[in-house]
Amino acid sequence: MSNPIPKAAPQTSATADGQKRLGPEIVAVQRCIVQSCGAAYGILEQIYLCPRCGGPLEIECPLDLANRSALPSLWHARGASQDLRDRSGVWRYRELLPFGDGVKIITLFEGNTPLYDAPRCAKYCGLSALRLKHQGCNPTGSFKDTGMTVAVTQAASLGARTVVCASTGNTAASLAAYAARAELQCAILLPQGQISPAKLAQSLDHGAIVCEIEGNFDDCMRLIGELADEPSIYIANSINPFRVEGQKTVAFEVLQQCEWRVPDHVVVPGGNMGNSSALGKGFDEMLRLGLIDRLPKISVIQAEGAAPLAHLFAGRKSADYDSASSEGIEVLKDPRTLATAIKIGAPVSWRKALRAVLSSHGDIIAVAEQEIADAKAMVGRDGIGCEPASAATVAGIRKLVAAGKIHPDESVVAVLTGHVLKDPDYVSNYHRGTLSLAANPDDKTDEPLQIQGAFRNEAVKISASKKSILESLERQR
Ligand code: F0G
C-alpha cells in the first residue's frame, strides 16, 4: 500500500547525531521505525514520515532516567497538586514527553479518566471481571484529547499558523477545541454526510473551518498528505508522532490505576490505528524502564466492514513483525459500518499497531454490526455509556473469550474511546428498532442490514396518571 502521506516538509534534514537538546535534561529524537532505515531527526523538524524512506516516525525519549524507580510515586503525588501540568493526566508524566521544562503547554486538563468495574459486561463476555477505561470522559468526549494536547503544544511551539486534520469526527472536535485554546487557526476535513451531527457541532462551536469533503475519510487523509508539505500548516492526525506521545500516557494511567499490576489483556477499537500504536508504545516504555515486568496482550478490534488490518492479521504467514508487515495491507475502497468513528479502509498507522500487537502476543479481529450494537447497549446497562466504535472492544472480548484466546479469570481492560452522547441517533435508533446499515449501492446483491437489538429499551407512551405509571412498572418488573 502506498501511504497517504507521501512526503515530508522539504526543509528537513537529519542532524549529525539526530538529536536536539531541548533543555538541560531532555534529549529526544524522531526516529524512523523501519528497521533497515532507523534514521533519526531532530525534535523540532516539522515532519510526519521519514524523509529518507517514507516510513513512519516515532519519538524516542531517553529512558536512562536516574530516578526511574521513584517515578510511580512522583506521578501519584502530582495527582494532588494544583500545578497546571500536574492537573493534566498527560503532562503529569512529562519525564517521558519530548519537551523541556519551559514549554507553554496547551491543556484542557485531559486524562484522569475513570477505570470502571463493569460486572454486567463481564458476565456478557464470559469473564469473571472486566474493567472499562473510559476515555470518553475527556474534555471533548473522546480519547483524542490526550494526544491533541501534545500535538497542539508542539504546533504552537513551532510557530505554526494553521492546524489541520482529517477526521471521522472526534479528532476534529478535539483539534478544534485545543486550537481555540492556543488561538491557532484550525481547519478540518470531514467526509460529507458520514459523521455524527454531535461531533460536527463541536467543531463548529470551537470556531474551526469545517470542510465537508465529497468523499470518505480515506479521501480526506489523502488530501492531508498533499497539505503536509505546506510549512505554515501543522498536521494533527495520528501520523504525527507527537499525537501518539500524548496518547501513550493512557498506558501509564491504566497502570497507575491498576496499582502497577499489569492486566493480562488491554483491548482497543481500531480505525486509523493511532490509539493501539500509542498504547503499545506506552506499555513498552514502562517495560523498558523496569516499572513493569511484562506486557499486557494488546488486542485490536475492527468493525467487519472496515477491517483491513484484521484481514492482514488473519491471513499473515508469520508472527514476525518484519515479514508480516512486508506482506502489506489491502486497502478497502468502500469501508462500511455504522460505527462511523472507525469507518476507515486505509489506516495510516497500521504498521505501528501491528508491531504493538505482535510484540505483546495480542490479536486483531473483526466484529459484526449486530455484535457492536448489542455490546454498546450492554455497556449502557452497566451505567457507563459509550459511542458505537468503543463498544467494538466489548464485542471483541466476548468473541476472544468464546474462542479461548482470553481465559475467564484473566484480567482484562477494555478502552472505551468515546462518550455515549457522541452519537445519540445511533442509540435512539437501536432502542426504537430502527437501526440499519443501508445496502451498498455499488453491489446489486447487497441488502440493507437491519439491527435486531437484543437489549432494546423502547419508551412507552402512557396516560398522565399515577395508576398507569404503576401498571407500567408492574408490567416491566
Ligand atoms: N473510537 C473512536 C470513538 C474514534 O473516534 C476513533 C478514531 C477510534 C476509536 C479509532 O482510533 O483511529 O486511533 O485507531 N477516530 C478518528 C477521528 C479516526 O478522526 O476521530 P484509531
DSSP string of 376-425? HHHHHHTT--B-HHHHHHHHHHHHHHHTTSS-TTS-EEEEE-BBGGG-HH
pLDDT band at 327 (very low <50, low <70, confident <90, very high): confident
> So what's the pLDDT on residue 381?
98
Distance separating alpha carbons of residues 370 and 135, to the nearest angstrom: 23
DSSP 8-state class, residue 261 = P
> So what's the pLDDT on residue 22?
46
Question: CA neighbours within 13 Å on the CB side: how many for 185?
Answer: 9
Whether residue 272 has its Cβ less than 6 Å from ligand 1: yes
Distance separating alpha carbons of residues 297 and 310, to the nearest angstrom: 16
Ligand 1 atom closest to the CA of 300, numbered from 1: 14
* 17 has a pLDDT exceeding 50: no
Mean pLDDT of the chain: 93
Whether residue 390 has its Cβ less than 6 Å from ligand 1: yes
Summarize the confidence of residues 324-328 as an average pLDDT. 86
* 6 has a pLDDT exceeding 50: no
pLDDT by residue (tens digit) across 377-408? Answer: 999 999 999 999 999 999 999 999 999 999 99
Summarize the confidence of residues 298-318 as an average pLDDT. 96
* 101 has a pLDDT exceeding 60: yes
Per the CB < 8 A criterion, the answer to whether 222 and 4 are in contact is yes
Sign of the torsion angle spanned by Cα atoms 419, 420, 424, 430: positive
Residues 6+ apart with CB under 8 A from 42: 14, 15, 18, 19, 20, 29, 30
* 112 has a pLDDT exceeding 50: yes
Distance separating alpha carbons of residues 89 and 296, to the nearest angstrom: 21
* 223 has a pLDDT exceeding 80: yes
Ligand 1 center from residue 238 Cα (angstroms): 10
Of 451, 446, 313, residue with least CA distance to 391? 451
Count Cβ neighbours within 10 Å for each residue of 184-214 and write b for 16 or more, e otherwise: bbbbbbbbeebbbebbbebbeebebeeeebe
SS3 26: coil
Summarize the confidence of residues 416-420 as an average pLDDT. 98
Number of H helices, E strands in the chain: 16, 16
> So what's the pLDDT on residue 317?
87
For cell 462518550, name the residue: 419
SS3 187: strand
Residues forming beta bridges with residue 29, ordered by sequence position: 60
> So what's the pLDDT on residue 208?
98
Distance separating alpha carbons of residues 201 and 179, to the nearest angstrom: 16
Ligand 1 center from residue 133 Cα (angstroms): 15
Whether residue 280 has its Cβ less than 6 Å from ligand 1: no
Whether residue 169 has its Cβ less than 6 Å from ligand 1: yes
Distance separating alpha carbons of residues 331 and 1, to the nearest angstrom: 7
* 7 has a pLDDT exceeding 80: no
CA distance from start to end of the chain: 55
Ligand 1 center from residue 258 Cα (angstroms): 25
Distance separating alpha carbons of residues 264 and 295, to the nearest angstrom: 8
* 29 has a pLDDT exceeding 90: yes
For cell 500509542, name the residue: 278
Residues forming beta bridges with residue 58, ordered by sequence position: 31
SS3 272: coil
Ligand 1 center from residue 109 Cα (angstroms): 20
pLDDT band at 419 (very low <50, low <70, confident <90, very high): very high
**Which of 221, 298, 342, 386 to mutate for ligand 1's pocket (most ligand atoms within 8 Å of CB)?**
342
pLDDT by residue (tens digit) across 234-284? Answer: 999 989 999 999 999 999 999 999 999 999 999 999 999 999 999 999 999
Whether residue 349 has its Cβ less than 6 Å from ligand 1: no
